[in-house]
């Protein structure tokens, strides 16, 4: 017996809550109706402000992220970022040469890093460099160039050129969006370009991002998810998205 419109809509909303997104073709097969019918259902639900349609799918909210100042973002998901940073610190080893990108979770990581034998840090974020400098013993290299006002971090060709002279063991990378199919994104194209240079300069790529970043997209694409080795996030990350990332061979830590 075919489901009524109300029953289909209820199932779609339930799936959105559990999985973080729905796919038109998958819903068509599951509900045994045409893709045209599913698109009409999604349009009706979007009109009621219950979801946001994207190409071939839908999300609970608009997945596209606007740029915000770091001072605003650092007040969000504070405890989750602290736990993510703690896990990241546990991955540091003596004589590591690491790159710290930018973002509030990266800044939290910089507060938690303690002196370690032979540890060298290359920083884009001015805040991260200041936090690390308080130890008085760490070797810190600050990338130069244009300072991006909303993140107080270096971007541009000078910073990118500096990275050409380094080969590092690990990169800790922040992100504004993680989409298993599209990739890792940030809200700023110049930052995305610098992040790409960081990836080329590092042997292991570790993304630090709280659960609100999953299923979201920023303006600038950093890389496909296949270029990432590890993601450290919190338990609010959608289960199905985490499973999809693990299927791609990405190590995902939930803290």
Q: Within this chain, do residues 187 and 208 fall inside the same structural domain, yes or no?
A: yes
Q: Within this chain, do residues 20 and 114 fall inside the same structural domain, yes or no?
A: no
Q: Within this chain, do residues 144 and 108 fall inside the same structural domain, yes or no?
A: yes
- The burial class, CB within 10 Å (0-12 / 13-18 / 19+), for 8 is buried
Question: Quick check: 25 and 13 in contact, CB under 8 A?
Answer: no
Task: Quick: pLDDT tens for 10-37.
Answer: 999 988 887 777 889 999 999 989 999 9
pLDDT at site 41: 93
Question: Quick check: 59 and 180 in contact, CB under 8 A?
Answer: no
Please indicate, yes or no, if residue 65 is contained in any of the structural domains. no
Question: What is the separation of C-alpha 114 from the centre of its chain, rounded to a whole number of angstroms?
Answer: 25
Q: Within this chain, do residues 139 and 36 fall inside the same structural domain, yes or no?
A: no
Q: What does 168-208 look like in DSSP terms, one character per residue?
A: EEEEEEE-SEEETTTEEEES-HHHHHHHHHHHHTEEEEEEE
Please indicate, yes or no, if residue 213 is contained in any of the structural domains. yes
Question: Quick check: 223 and 196 in contact, CB under 8 A?
Answer: yes
Task: Quick: pLDDT tens for 71-97.
Answer: 676 767 899 999 999 999 999 999 999
**Predicted TM-score of the model (pTM):** 0.78
Q: Within this chain, do residues 77 and 185 fall inside the same structural domain, yes or no?
A: yes
Task: Reply yes or no on whether the pLDDT at 69 is more than 80.
Answer: no
pLDDT at site 63: 72
- The burial class, CB within 10 Å (0-12 / 13-18 / 19+), for 141 is middle
Q: Within this chain, do residues 43 and 96 fall inside the same structural domain, yes or no?
A: no
Range of the domain at 9: 5-59
Q: What percent of the chain clears pLDDT 90, i.e. is strictly above it?
A: 71
Overall domain count for the chain: 2
- What average pLDDT does this structure show over 99-117? 95
Specify the CATH number for the domain of residue 117: 3.40.50.1360
The whole-chain average pLDDT of the chain stands at 92
Q: State the greatest distance between any 2 C-alpha atoms of the chain, in Å, as a whole number.
A: 71
Q: Within this chain, do residues 118 and 44 fall inside the same structural domain, yes or no?
A: no
Q: Within this chain, do residues 43 and 101 fall inside the same structural domain, yes or no?
A: no
Q: Within this chain, do residues 25 and 118 fall inside the same structural domain, yes or no?
A: no
Q: Within this chain, do residues 168 and 192 fall inside the same structural domain, yes or no?
A: yes
């Amino acid at each position: 017996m075919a489901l009524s419109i109300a029953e289909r809509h209820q199932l779609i909303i339930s799936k959105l809550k559990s999985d973080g997104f729905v796919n038109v073709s998958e819903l068509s097969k599951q509900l045994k109706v045409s893709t045209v019918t599913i698109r009409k259902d999604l349009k009706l639900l979007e009109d009621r402000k219950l979801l946001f349609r994207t190409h071939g799918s839908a999300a609970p909210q608009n997945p596209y992220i606007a740029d915000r100042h770091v001072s605003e973002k650092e007040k969000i998901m504070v405890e989750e970022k602290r736990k993510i940073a703690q896990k990241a610190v546990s991955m540091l080893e003596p004589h590591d040469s690491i790159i710290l990108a930018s973002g509030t979770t990266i800044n939290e990581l910089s507060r938690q890093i303690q002196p370690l034998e032979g540890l060298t840090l290359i920083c884009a974020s001015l805040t991260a460099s200041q936090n690390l400098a308080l130890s008085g013993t760490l070797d810190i290299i600050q990338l130069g160039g244009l300072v991006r006002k909303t993140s107080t971090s270096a971007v541009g060709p000078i910073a990118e050129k500096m990275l050409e002279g380094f080969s590092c063991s690990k990169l800790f990378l922040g992100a504004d969006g993680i989409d298993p199919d599209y990739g890792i994104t940030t809200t700023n194209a110049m930052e995305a370009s610098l992040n790409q240079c960081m990836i080329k300069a590092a042997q292991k790529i570790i993304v630090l991002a709280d659960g609100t970043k999953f299923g979201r997209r920023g303006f600038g694409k950093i890389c496909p998810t296949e270029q990432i080795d590890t993601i450290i996030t919190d338990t609010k990350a959608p289960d199905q998205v985490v499973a999809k990332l693990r299927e791609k061979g990405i190590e995902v830590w939930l803290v």
